[in-house]
């Protein structure tokens, strides 16, 4: 697949996935759940980049922000380090809610139901509004703390999909870091390791699209290189 077409391909996958999930309605939840678990076990967070409707919702918000020429909200490294434990607190809260209080995380499969359910309280509207506002200003903000994403991230390191880097040819231009929706610093900072797959990576391939150096960043599936950066690729926004 040619460079810079991956994002278009990914958006198309997300669109089809949302259409299929809405079409299937609620009758096939068990099949969707099994598919989601299987995909997580084999491909880690690939689901996040290509299937999850909630991820798609956030991408739509980012696209709208860029269309309106509203700059993204920058979070300093210090604030990020303060916020990091939040991810684990949310995961523990989520697991306890599912295991002991019967929470059914349907919003990950049909986020639209959060807006249309009969028990739509003012409290829920405020929460949805705040999360939407944050995700509008910061790309994939929810995904950085999402408990299902965190769970899938455990598999990223042993997943069959890998992001690879040739650190010797990297010119430290930062293009990869600046376009990464998950703010993964190691894709830019790593100099020695070739496997730079991070637990937060959603395999969006934006870093590979943006890298201006030939074959410095690549994506391998089952050990076979399927995509790599090309010299003078333009930065992806």
- Asked if 14 interacts with ligand SF4 (CB under 6 A), we say no
**Which residue lies nearer to ligand SF4 by CB, 18 or 176?**
176
- Asked if 135 interacts with ligand SF4 (CB under 6 A), we say no
Q: Which of residues 46-65 bind ligand SF4 (CB under 6 A)?
A: 48, 52, 54-55
Return the residue of 43, 163, 164, 227 that touches ligand SF4, per CB under 6 A: 163
**Which residue lies nearer to ligand SF4 by CB, 61 or 210?**
210
Binding range to ligand SF4, per CB under 6 A, among 73-81, 89-97, 125-133, 170-178:
170-178
- Asked if 21 interacts with ligand SF4 (CB under 6 A), we say no
- 161 phi and psi, to 5 degrees? -100, 130
**Which residue lies nearer to ligand SF4 by CB, 61 or 146?**
146
Nearest CA-CA partner of 192 in 157, 163, 158, 165: 165
Contacts of 201 (CB under 8 A, 6+ apart): 44, 45, 156, 163, 182, 184
Nearest CA-CA partner of 14 in 46, 58, 53: 53
Contacts of 200 (CB under 8 A, 6+ apart): 45, 144, 149, 153, 156, 182, 183, 184
Return the residue of 109, 164, 188, 227 that touches ligand SF4, per CB under 6 A: 188
Cβ atoms within 10 Å of 140's Cβ, excluding its own: 24
Query: Could you tell me which residues are beta bridge partners of residue 221?
Result: 161, 224
Site string for ligand SF4, 78-117 (x = CB under 6 A): ------------------------------x---------
Return the residue of 40, 155, 216, 227 that touches ligand SF4, per CB under 6 A: 216
> CB of 190 within 8 A of CB of 206?
no
Residue nearest to ligand SF4 (CB): 149
**Which residue lies nearer to ligand SF4 by CB, 56 or 65?**
56
How far are the Cα atoms of 31, 39, 46, 144, 153 from residue 199, in angstroms, in the given order? 25, 15, 11, 11, 4
Binding site for ligand SF4 (CB under 6 A): 48, 52, 54-55, 108, 142-143, 146, 148-149, 163, 165, 170-176, 180-182, 184, 187-188, 201-207, 210-211, 213, 216-217
């Amino acid at each position: 697949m040619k460079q810079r077409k991956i994002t278009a391909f990914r958006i198309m996958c997300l669109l089809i996935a949302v259409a299929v999930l809405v079409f299937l309605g609620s009758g096939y939840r068990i099949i969707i759940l099994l598919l989601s678990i299987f995909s997580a076990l084999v491909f880690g967070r690939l689901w996040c980049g290509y299937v999850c409707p909630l991820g798609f919702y956030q991408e739509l918000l980012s696209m709208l922000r860029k269309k309106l020429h509203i700059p993204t909200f920058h979070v300093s490294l210090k604030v990020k380090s303060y916020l990091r434990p939040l991810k684990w607190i949310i995961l523990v809260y989520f697991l306890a809610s599912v295991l002991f209080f019967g929470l059914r995380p349907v919003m990950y499969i049909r986020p639209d139901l959060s807006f249309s359910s009969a028990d739509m309280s003012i409290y829920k509207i405020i929460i949805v509004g705040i999360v939407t506002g944050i995700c509008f200003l910061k790309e994939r903000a929810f995904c950085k703390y999402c408990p299902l994403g965190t769970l899938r991230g455990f598999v990223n390191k042993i997943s069959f999909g890998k992001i690879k880097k040739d650190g010797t040819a990297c010119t430290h231009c930062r293009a990869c870091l600046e376009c990464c929706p998950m703010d993964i610093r190691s894709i830019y900072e790593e100099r020695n390791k070739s496997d730079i797959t991070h637990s937060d990576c959603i395999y969006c391939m934006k870093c590979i699209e943006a890298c201006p150096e030939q074959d410095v960043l690549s994506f391998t599936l089952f050990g076979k290189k399927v995509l790599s950066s090309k010299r003078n690729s333009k930065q992806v926004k």
